[in-house]
Amino acid sequence: MLGIEALLEILAAVRVRYIFGNPGSTELPLNDALAEDARFQYIFGLHEVPVTAMADGYAMASGELGVMCVHISGGLGNAMGMLYNAFAAGTPLLVLAGQQDRRLQVGEPVLAGDTVGVARPWTKWSVEVQHVEDVPAIVRRAVQSALTPPTGPVFLSLPVDVQLARSAEFDLTPPYITSPWYF
């Protein structure tokens, strides 16, 4: 199983059905995995302001976790105003973004950057996945953090090499959700 597929297994366990996003090269493994996964529908927007506002609005209206994906540094930058709104409103929102392959980062590839630091002030938790075996635990913690009162957005940075790394040692235990209204 790929790292990005492990992420989807954890999201499916909390009945996520919609992932809002605007794709880019560093998120292609996610779009590839979603292309043949009938559990999810990708809600496509051409700019991160409406993408984030749609995910925020969906989460608030449904009472469910909102999940969205933006394209690395530029996409997160575009999303920031709406991320501030989600943070102020306490919306349970999981924000995903790809990151350049870590083997290339010494060369400062285009669009690479400290997205974790950018997202941190307006999220409850902001982290980059460094080891593919950590994907399920980090997604569990992110989901649980977003949904635990006081609820709010969380941010995960997903390097391309982590998304595409394969492992047979994923712990796919579902997240433990304490929010009484969630299920």
Residues that bind other proteins (CB under 8 A): 21, 23-25, 28-29, 31-36, 42, 44, 46, 164
Provide, rounded to whole angstroms, the least separation between the CB of residue 21 and other proteins.
8
Provide, rounded to whole angstroms, the least separation between the CB of residue 25 and other proteins.
4
Nearer to other proteins, 22 or 91 (CB): 22
Nearer to other proteins, 112 or 146 (CB): 112
Helix, strand or coil, per DSSP, at residue 150: coil
The one-character DSSP state at 166 is B
Nearer to other proteins, 30 or 135 (CB): 30
CA–CA gap between residue 132 and residue 3 (Å, rounded): 6
Pure H helices in the chain: 3-13, 28-35, 48-62, 72-89, 115-119, 135-147, 160-164
CA–CA gap between residue 180 and residue 169 (Å, rounded): 31
Tokens of 173: 């235990």
Nearer to other proteins, 42 or 84 (CB): 42
